[in-house]
Structure 1
């Protein structure tokens, strides 16, 4: 073994004789081309060489002071988070632009479009953004720790099949949502128009889910920028399509979901083209019948991810429903706030995605100390960016709503509520980053439990009570603010006191379990039927 005199001091004792992984060069500062974590080496050396540029990537902390290691981690996470945040902001902007364009027709169309997209976010889009967290857990650790370089591609194929099945019940819900909205106390016109809006949005649902799965596939390979590149192309196209369908073709309100559906499919197809012709196809390996195996592990993590993300978003949807019962004006102001919050939420959510990939990669590389450092650094990064958003919102609160609508009453009410939205941006950052760490560990269930207790056993009932006892729309957002601070600090405590060596063991147990199931252990002859890699 090369350089045997260098002890792997950052590794727990039971792992010190395992194979080394590529680390970051001590001599080269991270930049926009730096991988979050290079691929593992096949030998037992304490360092390995990057085949592309010939640089040596040393795994050891090298006796560096903690402050320097934390600063390096901060830079790595910041550089990794920015393209992810931009991608999610652009992704959310597809529907935000749609709301802006159709909302100019009337306050009623503004409320209907915003309400419909919020409902889509908490149901169909949740399959994409919550269900694909299974790729965060399984894919990131498989990329650095698996013996089969095509395991990540098999996980992607599995996500295409299973998440499409998960979306089918959502299609039925959207088709018959009018009666659901009426039962929840929404106005008849908004209920009817929202149901028609969602029915037209169904074709775009699969495109949205597949686009998100492709992004996670590339992010697990430390390719954070492709989603941003694609959305920089499709975002202006989406704006043009929305205007064309709503006004030029005179489809009115229903032109918006049709145009947005086309944009989602275009985004997915362009991302596939990027992976095929630019970078990212190395982990594919072709379609394999192995994707039909081990569906239980993926489904369990996907469902838990949906619950983890969904318990927060469902709380916001309940707030929207409650705002609808306060009247048209509060609903219009709520629509402005929620549409904006979906964009602002891309910052903590993007940090969470980058963190989950980083933590998962480090766990797959058997670097428990590095994973702990990444998780805690991400928490501080998210709070810093949350403070910046807070300052911007407070400085623009009096004119903020004019971006969406010039109605004076809507602008005034939005300005009164916006300080509460600004206040929870720091907590929202903690929720996003620490939630990403939990997903990287495969602990979606922990985040789900924290969300359920914080939102539904206290803060949400309090907000609804305040709303209908003199506080109005402000009361609803006071409750949300309390909930986010509870969730943020509880999840941060869980991450801070986590046993990271145990998480390394669990990551490899998941990979070994998957290899046993996919390899057909106990089923002689199966491998001979499909070939060595499971391909027909």
Structure 2
């Protein structure tokens, strides 16, 4: 920590020279010079300018969001390529990817995206408030534990057909979805590794690395999809084969980038820890106490959308095709609030780790404001394009008409999705993943899903796909307003700083990591 006094702490614009002993990338992550004093001291810090916070969050969120959009485009490209084979193949591909986001029980996506949220908390706080080399140990622990968590997931993916039949899905769809997802298993280790390594770099303020890698990989993914699907006997199965290769390449390319990155070397965060240190029982319990609620936080939301997809399947092939189009698009759009949430969690975690309670509080409000503005802009664009949006994914006029009818609800959904994304990021930065999971469980499973299913299927209602989406809009409204109210009214920011100091000191003792 710096030996400057708390009174001398000033906001630091990205690119300015810092007198702090921390590397420049670490001070730019903080946006202020870390506070000094005894290790147990808690400082509120000087207030940070709203404009500076908004700018820094936007600058951080753009490459992160672009990274997630490009990452999601890997499967979107597959849906587009496979969709040209016919309506059945389109439904299989889109349905399989929606199943791939159902939650910790049947999904590598949630194990990776949800499990790595523990690094949002532990990594960002350790990087600015503890021994920076402990960040690399957190990363290694994350990688091993999430690979282990995925083993039962892989078993279920390989035996998914009887589960889908039990849930009432068509036999041919159930068979092909199991074949599709069994092939997709091959890319799971690479995907988990890529997500973990990406978070490790983001905790250091290295936001653009994954974006650069994905820009390089995206054309390779398109070529692989076209080749495997249309020019090999694999056909439909060529899509998951191409994705598995692509995700493995993403992990390898990002690892090479990190190894040769001057910024990563300057941060001096890497240490190769022995397996006993990495799998220290208390540290693993601490990690899992954040990772498992993080998986639930991500998984409960996406599982709710999967339930909507299953319900849409009972409405008939055309509503299912329309839902597949909407969900494929929404999975891309969802990366925008998720990217803002990552920027918010890194910012809040770094400020808490740097003992800047007031700055962390301001960053939480700034991220909510930024996400609401972006959500409003997305809503306006979707409403303007609602009558032609379906043509991107399908040439069937009836599918396009049904997409157009539901699009106003999907558009209004975006404001609350963006606000919930930023608030979820703040909760992850504070290590409160369990609260996000609780809000999701209540909003979706107690209130919104029963309401949506009733509106869709009850004889006196029969709103079909529109009824299902009304429930989704209600859920996100409750989650967004509930999480923001909690952050605004219930968080003791100076207490959060003190808890972080105690946690970092305990971890340093356990790890015994030295420069």
TM-score in same-fold range (> 0.5): yes
Displacement of 1:184 in angstroms is: 1.0
Aligned position for 2:12: 24
| Matching of residue 363 in structure 1 with residue 352 in structure 2 | yes
| Matching of residue 175 in structure 1 with residue 158 in structure 2 | yes
**Cα distance change of structure 1 residues 7 and 351 upon mapping to structure 2, 3 Å threshold:** closer
Work out which of the residue numbers 128, 131, 134 in structure 1 matches 2:115: 131
| Matching of residue 292 in structure 1 with residue 279 in structure 2 | yes
Work out which of the residue numbers 90, 98, 103 in structure 2 matches 1:110: 90
Alpha-carbon separation, structure 1, partners of 2:254 and 2:453 = 42
Displacement of 1:41 in angstroms is: 6.3
Alpha-carbon separation, structure 1, partners of 2:90 and 2:288 = 36
Work out which of the residue numbers 217, 221, 226 in structure 1 matches 2:204: 221
User: What is the CA deviation profile of residues 101-152 of structure 1, one whole-angstrom value per residue up to 9, with x for unaligned ones?
Assistant: 0111001100100010111122210001000000000000000011x33101
**Cα distance change of structure 1 residues 263 and 161 upon mapping to structure 2, 3 Å threshold:** same
Contact 2:2 2:36 in 1 (8 A): no
**Cα distance change of structure 1 residues 287 and 298 upon mapping to structure 2, 3 Å threshold:** same
Aligned position for 2:7: 8
Aligned position for 1:283: 269
User: What is the CA deviation profile of residues 386-408 of structure 1, one whole-angstrom value per residue up to 9, with x for unaligned ones?
Assistant: 01110110011111111111011
Aligned position for 1:14: none
Work out which of the residue numbers 370, 373, 377 in structure 2 matches 1:388: 377
Alpha-carbon separation, structure 1, partners of 2:195 and 2:119 = 10
SS in 2 for 1:121: coil
Alpha-carbon separation, structure 1, partners of 2:237 and 2:455 = 35
Aligned position for 1:481: 473
Alpha-carbon separation, structure 2, partners of 1:198 and 1:392 = 33
Displacement of 1:44 in angstroms is: 5.5
**Cα distance change of structure 1 residues 27 and 200 upon mapping to structure 2, 3 Å threshold:** closer
Aligned position for 1:160: 143
Contact 2:146 2:192 in 1 (8 A): yes
Alpha-carbon separation, structure 1, partners of 2:172 and 2:482 = 41
Alpha-carbon separation, structure 1, partners of 2:194 and 2:14 = 35
Aligned position for 2:41: none
**Cα distance change of structure 1 residues 267 and 410 upon mapping to structure 2, 3 Å threshold:** same
Alpha-carbon separation, structure 1, partners of 2:2 and 2:396 = 71
Contact 1:127 1:306 in 2 (8 A): yes
Question: Which ranges of structure 2 fall in alignment gaps of 5 or more residues?
Answer: 19-23, 39-43
Contact 1:288 1:533 in 2 (8 A): no
Aligned position for 2:187: 204
Displacement of 1:38 in angstroms is: 6.4
Contact 2:69 2:335 in 1 (8 A): yes
- When the two chains are superposed, the root-mean-square deviation of aligned CA atoms in Å is 2.5
Aligned position for 2:129: 145
User: What is the CA deviation profile of residues 379-428 of structure 1, one whole-angstrom value per residue up to 9, with x for unaligned ones?
Assistant: 01001000111011001111111111101111011111111010111100
Aligned position for 1:12: none
User: What is the CA deviation profile of residues 510-532 of structure 1, one whole-angstrom value per residue up to 9, with x for unaligned ones?
Assistant: 2233233334xxxxxxxxxxxx7
Alpha-carbon separation, structure 1, partners of 2:278 and 2:6 = 40
Q: Which has the higher contact order (CA 8 A, sep 6+)?
A: 2
SS in 2 for 1:35: helix
TM-score normalised by structure 2 residue count: 0.91
Alpha-carbon separation, structure 2, partners of 1:128 and 1:371 = 26
Displacement of 1:284 in angstroms is: 1.4
Alpha-carbon separation, structure 1, partners of 2:6 and 2:203 = 29
User: What is the CA deviation profile of residues 328-357 of structure 1, one whole-angstrom value per residue up to 9, with x for unaligned ones?
Assistant: 111111100001000000110000001000
Question: Which ranges of structure 1 fall in alignment gaps of 5 or more residues?
Answer: 10-19, 46-58, 520-531
| Matching of residue 234 in structure 1 with residue 217 in structure 2 | yes
Contact 2:108 2:188 in 1 (8 A): yes
Work out which of the residue numbers 250, 253, 273 in structure 1 matches 2:236: 253
**Cα distance change of structure 1 residues 96 and 213 upon mapping to structure 2, 3 Å threshold:** same
Alpha-carbon separation, structure 2, partners of 1:83 and 1:440 = 19
Work out which of the residue numbers 288, 296, 300 in structure 2 matches 1:307: 296
Displacement of 1:456 in angstroms is: 0.8
**Cα distance change of structure 1 residues 475 and 158 upon mapping to structure 2, 3 Å threshold:** same
Work out which of the residue numbers 246, 253, 272 in structure 2 matches 1:270: 253
